[in-house]
Amino acid sequence: MSSSIKTYDYVIIGGGIHGVGVAQAAAAAGYSVLVLEQKALAHGTSSKSSKLIHGGLRYLETAQLRLVFECLRERRKLLKLAPNLVRLEPFVIPVYKNTRRRPWEIFAGLSLYAILGFLRPSALFKRIPKSEWGSLDGLKTEDLRLVFTYNDGSTDDAALTRAVMESAKSFGAELAMPAEFLKATPAEDHNVVEYSIAGTTHKCKARLLVNASGPWANTVLDKVESKPEKLAFDLIAGTHIVIDHPAPKAMYYVEAPQDGRAVFVMPWKGQTMIGTTETKYQGDPSLVKPLQEEIEYLQDVAANYFSKYSINTKVVESFAGLRVLPHAKGKAFSRPRETTFHFDKNIAPRVVTIYGGKLTAYRVTSEKFVAKFARLLPKRARKGYTSNASLS
Ligand SMILES: Cc1cc2nc3c(=O)[nH]c(=O)nc-3n(C[C@H](O)[C@H](O)[C@H](O)COP(=O)(O)OP(=O)(O)OC[C@H]3O[C@@H](n4cnc5c(N)ncnc54)[C@H](O)[C@@H]3O)c2cc1C
């Protein structure tokens, strides 16, 4: 192999939030970084999320306290670092006579959420008095018992991903795009990486190869010649629809009458977005798309709570993203949302895969990643810190 090919400390496969997040943290720490993205930044799940920068109130139901605490801390950080991209919005939880989560359960969840947010003003919640229910975007009030409101963050997930890549570039990271990862061949202290740009194969060396390809993670591992062990995971599709209706003034957190799942009805670029679903998916991640039954499920949810929506309100856009969740039986709703850094313990950890995770936690996840694998790389002079790198 030619010795003239360039060596990077980090070659990262995937320009989703985790790929660009690790690129930013690694480049800030002084490492040389190349990101390979096959299509466009945020082409995968990172443009198809619910666009929330949140602790995840519903993860309290499954006692994922550490995740919620960490995400709330990241929310505070991102509100400061990216004020044009991450905003606090009012969230509204209506409780009806037949809502499955009882008022005391919601009260307890919101109280714990406030405590995990250090009882700061932005973490507190309150009840909306009956006299104000008429101003709630046409929310149906028949059998309505209580309405809670609290604050949480929202963003434009794709714009956030692009902003993090810009910040990574400012620390010296390089981006090849569109560039498809083809193959990695292990050598003593690096992998030789082959990737294709417009049909031409390019090569470089990676001291550490990061597989941040989200739903494609195990397809990418198949292209690594040392055949590292893979983690079994399930792909769970989540669909959102955008309906032809002016944006509501708040984010409504409602319970799907069909199965009790939490669904959001929220503003999105001047219209109304509703999501999401959980449907097990098998097949090529590039081909995932909303199913008609998922679209109808979401239309039903909106029509159930708001008199102004009907199941015939025009759907102007729909999209589906894939969650990477640990393989298990039973409902996806209750499975952990933590991130796993996986490498084959029988071969040197020169190829590390990032499985799972949350958009909200990308920065802290990426910092942990870089700290964990620093021992494999030469010492470098730090260029900056993600904790004070503003994003725009
Ligand atoms: C429906 C849904 C709603 C969600 N809502 C939220 C939310 O509101 N808040 C929150 O915090 N989190 C949310 N999440 C989680 C969050 O969106 C994901 O954890 C995150 O976006 C995953 O990012 P990623 O970088 O790991 O993967 P991806 O964004 O999928 O990025 C992987 C990238 O790898 C690229 N790639 C694949 N193969 C190759 C190859 N061979 N060569 C080069 N590039 C390649 C792909 O093109 C893609 O761009 C949600 C997830 C889903 C599915």
Tokens 């690790």 -> residue? 22
In a domain, 208, yes or no: yes
Count of residues for the chain? 392
**pLDDT per residue over 34-61, tens digit each?**
999 999 999 999 999 999 999 888 777 7
Percent of the chain scoring above 90 in pLDDT: 81
Q: Is the same domain home to 169 and 225?
A: yes
Find out whether the beta carbon of 358 lies less than 6 Å from any atom of ligand 1: yes
In a domain, 194, yes or no: yes
- Alpha-carbon distance of 46 to 42, in angstroms, equals 5
Which of 318, 333, 348 terminates a domain? The answer is: 333
Please enumerate in sequence order all residues whose Cβ is within 8 A of that of 260, keeping only pairs 6 or more positions apart, or say none: 100, 101
- Residue 94: the pLDDT is 97
- Residue 3: the pLDDT is 52
In terms of DSSP bridges, do strands 271-275 and 233-243 run parallel, antiparallel, or are they unpaired? antiparallel
Q: Is the same domain home to 327 and 264?
A: yes
Give the atom of ligand 1 at the shortest distance from the alpha carbon of 236. 53
Which of 333, 351, 366 terminates a domain? The answer is: 333
Task: Identify which of 175, 196, 242, 359 to mutate to test ligand 1's pocket (most ligand atoms within 8 A of the CB).
Answer: 359
Q: Is the same domain home to 220 and 76?
A: no
In a domain, 188, yes or no: yes
What Cα–Cα distance (Å) separates residue 111 from each residue in 79, 89, 114?
Answer: 22, 18, 5
Find out whether the beta carbon of 38 lies less than 6 Å from any atom of ligand 1: yes
CATH code (residue 295): 3.30.9.10
Domain containing residue 326: 67-154+233-333
In a domain, 245, yes or no: yes
Say how many Å lie between the CA of residue 273 and the centre of ligand 1: 19
Say how many Å lie between the CA of residue 217 and the centre of ligand 1: 11
- Per the structure, the count of domains in the chain is 2
317-328 mean pLDDT? 91
In a domain, 328, yes or no: yes
Q: Is the same domain home to 126 and 247?
A: yes
Neighbours of 27 (CB within 10 A): 27
**pLDDT per residue over 364-388, tens digit each?**
999 999 999 999 999 999 999 999 9
173-178 mean pLDDT? 98
311-316 mean pLDDT? 89
Q: Is the same domain home to 33 and 71?
A: no
Q: Is the same domain home to 320 and 181?
A: no
Q: Is the same domain home to 139 and 245?
A: yes
Q: Is the same domain home to 123 and 254?
A: yes
In a domain, 238, yes or no: yes
* Averaged confidence pLDDT in the chain: 93
In a domain, 51, yes or no: no
CATH code (residue 380): 3.50.50.60
Q: Is the same domain home to 308 and 322?
A: yes
Q: Is the same domain home to 228 and 343?
A: yes
Which of 289, 308, 333 terminates a domain? The answer is: 333
Q: Is the same domain home to 317 and 373?
A: no
In a domain, 60, yes or no: no
**pLDDT per residue over 122-171, tens digit each?**
889 999 999 999 999 999 999 999 999 999 999 999 999 999 999 999 99
Q: Is the same domain home to 293 and 360?
A: no
- Residue 129: the pLDDT is 97
Task: Identify which of 39, 45, 204 to mutate to test ligand 1's pocket (most ligand atoms within 8 A of the CB).
Answer: 45
Say how many Å lie between the CA of residue 17 and the centre of ligand 1: 7
Token code pair at residue 222: 């198949």
